[in-house]
């Protein structure tokens, strides 16, 4: 209640100051703000966003977006204020991932726009549908290096699916409709709309609402749906003929909503399946056929199976170097490779497949499934025996000790929190442990910065995920390095009363870099000590968030239980050893079956 | 191997940057690039000569297709085409060399476009090899200035 009062006071002050400014002087600023009631570009932007079904905008105000913030006051759209634009764009990104919709963020020109760049790149690498709206200096000043001017469409060119600089107010309806269409269809990605302030303030006739039945048509933009029937037949034949198949599933499964049909396919043919980091949740990680993650920190079984298979069904993946170890000729070297992807440019980019199929993963898998006999039973007995033997010999394991093991932290978190919770992560060792040890049952329940590996993604991502799924338990698994990159978003968490449960793996070092220096630089450690770390429990408390410290394994269960019982956000500061390492690990220059196994 | 790509794009500011940025970012080597508006003022045609093997060229074409500003990409190297470059060359002449230069210009079917006391400006068109040969022929006389366009190409009519 008190907060509301404060807000109202601020708004009153703002209203008064506006009245004063219009009376006292006729500056350009007061002129643009004085168009009350008239339909301008900013109002049109909001109307179009409402038409697109946008419910939340993550934005940070500033001089070049004043008309937009004025129009936002009269909009039904909820505005969430991060404490840094990077927090806003990451939250919008995770909101899109968790909610399966287009995320929207908003920033002012210059530094505001520039602060979005990492987040836009992050969404681009992981193919997340995102519309980023930036304010821009007035059109007559464009290109003059004026105050808070930056060429954001130029800067983001390599990391956007498309970008618009709006130069005519009448283009706003078309551009916003196109932007959402481009962001959300085909291989999704971020689209930037840069709107000069005078365009936001310029008047235009109110557009007619869009005809819902009319599809948006952009002449030079195409995307694919169903796969080529001939190629699908080839894939069916190959699947029937093979003896040692493996499915390699990625983020494309989750984007296209192919999780259910994928699981059906795996069950029908009794296929072993490995996933990428982005593909975690495409099938229940507890499914008996799931061999876990493949690649640099994948399970031994997943890496052995991919190396030995005679057929690799690659769906919605891009043969990233964190999966193949960059040694393409040694990756699934003896396998017939079927590559299914919606982006034709991904096919043949890294590995030339034997059977390429361009299109939507769900539609293609449905067609493949319908071409197969309904039950093939327990064939490939010897292949499964080999796989089970690998699993027996090289399970994911750790040595339980008196100290708190990170793996124990995660197992406890999932055991008590349940496999239906959403797990968001930051980037580093904790991320890989989470990928290895968290049971994830559903798509869109494991949210992580995979392609770009952005430290600082985690906390804003948890905010976005919790806002997309208010009824779900959202865990943030983070590290003391990552958390401090966007720690200011604890205020956003508190302000919006988001009940995020933060599990902080606090080892006082940049653990992943330390691990790399240990193995690759012969322990010549450098700049990995996070000296002068704050007391994170006190930091949480300073933001009005409950903090719990855990030092011993036995304290972990009660801490998670207490955190879940708490209505608001909680930070659990888990003190783990800096000597912990993520294993298995494929060293650079080695093929994926030549990993360090440890233990 | 050199491939000639015809890329039909939107005729808007920033489109050239988007296309050339793609080449730079993905480390594809542009050999020459020529852009002009088409008969439809909303569209421009880029003729891009790029070096690479078949796999690289396929990637280049697929990546170009992904740009929303790109309407159509054609690999003209798979077709029967006529290709041309244009060069403008200013050559040093003296009274005793003038006739010889004019004779060579004639052999190459060039045209004198400007005549000065001590120099001649010559226009010559043709494929790359012909232009190269002409430049070699002019070198002994002293080339004062040389500009040449990139390659443009058109598909031959069906016979």
pLDDT in tens, A308-343: 999 999 999 999 999 999 998 999 999 999 999 999
- Distance set, CA A464 to CA A451, A572, B39 (Å): 19, 20, 48
Residues with pLDDT less than 50, chain A: 1-5, 14, 17-34
In the predicted model, what is the mean pLDDT of residues B55-78? 95
**CA-nearest residue of chain A to B10?**
A220
The DSSP bridge partners found for residue B5 are B48, B75
**Which pLDDT does position A509 carry in this prediction?**
98
B contact set with A (CB within 8 A): 10, 14, 17-18, 21, 25, 55, 58-59, 62-63, 65-66, 68-71
Neighbours of A225 (CB within 10 A): 13
pTM across the whole model: 0.92
Q: Which residues of A touch B62 (CB under 8 A)?
A: 344-345
- Burial zone of A174 (CB within 10 Å; 0-12 exposed, 13-18 middle, 19+ buried): middle
* A581: helix, strand or coil: coil
Q: Is the separation of the CB atoms in A61 and A108 below 8 Å?
A: yes
Alpha helices for A202-311 (secondary structure H): 229-241, 251-256, 259-269, 300-308
* Number of neighbours of residue B124 by Cβ within 10 angstroms: 21
State the Cα–Cα distance between residues B94 and B99, nearest whole angstrom: 9
The count of other CB atoms within 10 Å of the CB of residue B51 is: 13
Task: Please tell me the number of Cα atoms within 13 Å of A149 on its side-chain side.
Answer: 13
Nearest-CA distance B90 → chain A (Å): 37
Task: Give the whole-angstrom CA distance, residue A240 versus residue A364.
Answer: 16
A343 to chain B: which residues are within 8 Å by CB?
66
pLDDT of residue B105: 97
Which residues of chain A make contact with B58, given a CB cutoff of 8 A?
Answer: 348
Cβ-defined contact of A345 to B18 (cutoff 8 Å): no
Question: What is the rounded distance in angstroms from the CA atom of residue A303 to the CA atom of residue A324?
Answer: 9
Which of B18, B63, B70 is opposite residue A157, by nearest beta carbon?
B18
Interface test with A, best of B61, B68, B70 (most A CBs within 10 A): B68
Q: How far apart are CA A57 and CA A77, in angstroms?
A: 7
pLDDT of A3 reads 44
- If one counts every other C-beta atom within 10 angstroms of the C-beta of residue B43, the result is 17
Q: Helices marked H in A212-356 — which ranges?
A: 229-241, 251-256, 259-269, 300-308, 321-324
Nearest CB to A162; choose among B55, B62, B68: B68
- pLDDT the model gives residue A212: 78
The tokens describing A93, both together, are 């990104």
Check: CB of residue A225 under 8 Å from CB of residue A363: yes
> How far is the alpha carbon of A345 from chain B, nearest alpha carbon, in Å?
5
**CB B58 within 8 Å of CB B72:** no
CA A377/CA A270 separation, integer angstroms? 7
Contact A376, A268 (CB under 8 A): yes
Give the tokens for residue A549. Answer: 């410290």
Which H or E element spans position B92? strand B81-92
Phi, psi of A501 (to 5 degrees): -105, 110
Interior CA angle at A206 toward A204 and A212, to 5°? 135
pLDDT at A24: 41
**What's the CA gap between B114 and B159, in Å, rounded?**
39
Would the CB atoms of B68 and A343 count as touching at under 8 Å? no
User: Mean pLDDT, chain B, as a whole number?
Assistant: 94
Give A 149-168 residues with CB within 8 A of chain B: 153-154, 157-158, 161-162, 165
Burial class (CB in 10 A: 0-12, 13-18, 19+), A310: middle
The minimum CA-CA distance between B28 and chain A, rounded to whole Å, is 13
Give residue-wise pLDDT tens across range A529-553.
999 999 999 999 999 999 999 999 9
User: Are the C-beta atoms of A255 and A242 separated by less than 8 Å?
Assistant: no
pLDDT at A28: 46
What residues in A contact B70, CB-CB < 8 Å? 220
Q: Is the separation of the CB atoms in A297 and A436 below 8 Å? A: yes
């Amino acid at each position: 209640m008190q907060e509301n009062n404060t807000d109202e006071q601020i708004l009153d002050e703002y209203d008064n100051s506006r009245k004063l400014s219009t009376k006292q002087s006729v500056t350009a600023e007061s002129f643009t703000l004085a168009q009350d009631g008239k339909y301008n570009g900013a109002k049109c932007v909001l109307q179009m966003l409402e038409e697109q079904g946008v419910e939340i905008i993550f934005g940070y105000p500033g001089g070049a977006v004043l008309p937009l913030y004025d129009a936002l006051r009269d909009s039904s759209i909820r505005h969430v204020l991060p404490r840094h634009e990077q927090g806003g764009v990451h939250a919008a990104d995770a909101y899109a991932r968790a909610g399966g919709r287009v995320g929207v963020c908003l920033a002012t020109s210059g530094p505001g726009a520039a602060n979005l760049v990492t987040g836009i790149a992050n969404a681009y690498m992981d193919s997340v549908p995102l519309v980023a709206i930036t304010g821009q200096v007035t059109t007559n000043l464009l290109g003059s290096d004026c105050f808070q001017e930056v060429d954001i469409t130029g800067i983001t060119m390599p990391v956007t699916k498309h970008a618009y600089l709006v130069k005519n107010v009448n283009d706003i309806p078309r551009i916003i409709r196109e932007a959402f269409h481009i962001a959300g269809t085909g291989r999704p990605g971020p689209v930037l709309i840069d709107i000069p302030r005078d365009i936001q303030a310029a008047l235009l006739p109110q557009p007619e609402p869009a005809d819902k039945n009319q599809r948006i048509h952009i002449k030079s933009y195409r995307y694919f749906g169903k796969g080529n029937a001939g190629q699908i037949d080839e894939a069916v034949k190959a699947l029937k003929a093979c003896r040692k198949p493996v499915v390699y599933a990625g983020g494309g499964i989750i984007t296209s909503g192919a999780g259910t049909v994928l699981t059906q396919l795996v069950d029908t043919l009794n296929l072993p399946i490995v996933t990428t980091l982005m593909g975690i949740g495409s099938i229940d990680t507890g499914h008996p056929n799931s061999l876990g993650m493949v690649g640099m920190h994948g399970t031994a079984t997943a890496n052995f199976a991919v190396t030995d298979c005679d057929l690799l069904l690659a769906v919605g993946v891009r043969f990233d170097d964190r999966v193949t170890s960059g040694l393409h000729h040694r990756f699934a070297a003896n396998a017939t490779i079927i590559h299914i992807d919606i982006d034709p440019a991904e096919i043949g980019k890294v590995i030339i497949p034997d059977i390429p199929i361009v299109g939507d993963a769900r539609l293609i898998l449905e067609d493949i499934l319908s071409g197969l006999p309904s039950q093939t039973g327990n064939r490939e007995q010897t292949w499964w025996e080999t796989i089970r033997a690998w699993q027996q010999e090289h399970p994911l394991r750790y040595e339980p000790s008196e100290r708190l093991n990170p793996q124990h932290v995660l197992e406890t978190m999932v055991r008590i929190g349940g496999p239906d919770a959403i797990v968001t992560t930051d980037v580093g060792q904790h991320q890989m442990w989470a990928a290895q040890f968290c049971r994830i049952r559903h798509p869109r329940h494991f949210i992580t910065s995979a392609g770009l590996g952005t430290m600082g993604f985690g906390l804003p991502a948890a905010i976005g995920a919790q806002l997309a799924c208010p009824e779900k338990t959202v865990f943030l698994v983070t590290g003391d390095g990552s958390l401090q990159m966007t720690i200011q978003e604890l205020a956003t968490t508190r302000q919006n009363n988001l009940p995020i449960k933060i599990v902080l793996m606090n080892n006082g070092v940049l653990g992943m870099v330390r691990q790399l220096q240990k193995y690759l630089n012969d322990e010549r450690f450098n700049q990995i000590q996070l000296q002068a770390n704050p007391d994170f429990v006190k930091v949480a408390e300073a933001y009005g968030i409950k903090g719990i410290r855990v030092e011993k394994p036995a304290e972990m269960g009660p801490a998670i239980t207490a955190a879940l019982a708490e209505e608001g956000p909680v930070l659990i500061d888990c003190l783990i050893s800096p000597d912990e390492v993520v294993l298995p690990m494929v060293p650079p220059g080695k093929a994926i079956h030549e990993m360090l196994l440890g233990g | 191997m050199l491939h000639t790509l015809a890329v039909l794009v939107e005729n808007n500011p920033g489109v050239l940057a988007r296309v050339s940025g793609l080449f730079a970012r993905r480390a594809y080597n542009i050999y020459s690039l020529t852009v002009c508006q088409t008969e439809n003022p909303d569209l421009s045609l880029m003729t891009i000569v790029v070096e690479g093997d078949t796999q690289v060229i396929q990637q280049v074409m697929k990546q170009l297709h992904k740009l929303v500003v790109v309407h159509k990409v054609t690999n003209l190297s798979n077709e029967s085409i006529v290709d041309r470059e244009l060069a403008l060359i200013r050559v040093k002449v003296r009274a005793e060399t003038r006739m010889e230069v004019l004779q060579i210009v004639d052999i190459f079917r060039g045209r004198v476009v400007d005549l000065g006391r001590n120099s001649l400006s010559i226009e010559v068109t043709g494929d790359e090899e012909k232009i190269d040969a002409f430049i070699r022929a002019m070198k002994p006389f002293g080339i004062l200035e040389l500009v040449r366009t990139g390659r443009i190409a058109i598909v031959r009519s069906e016979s």
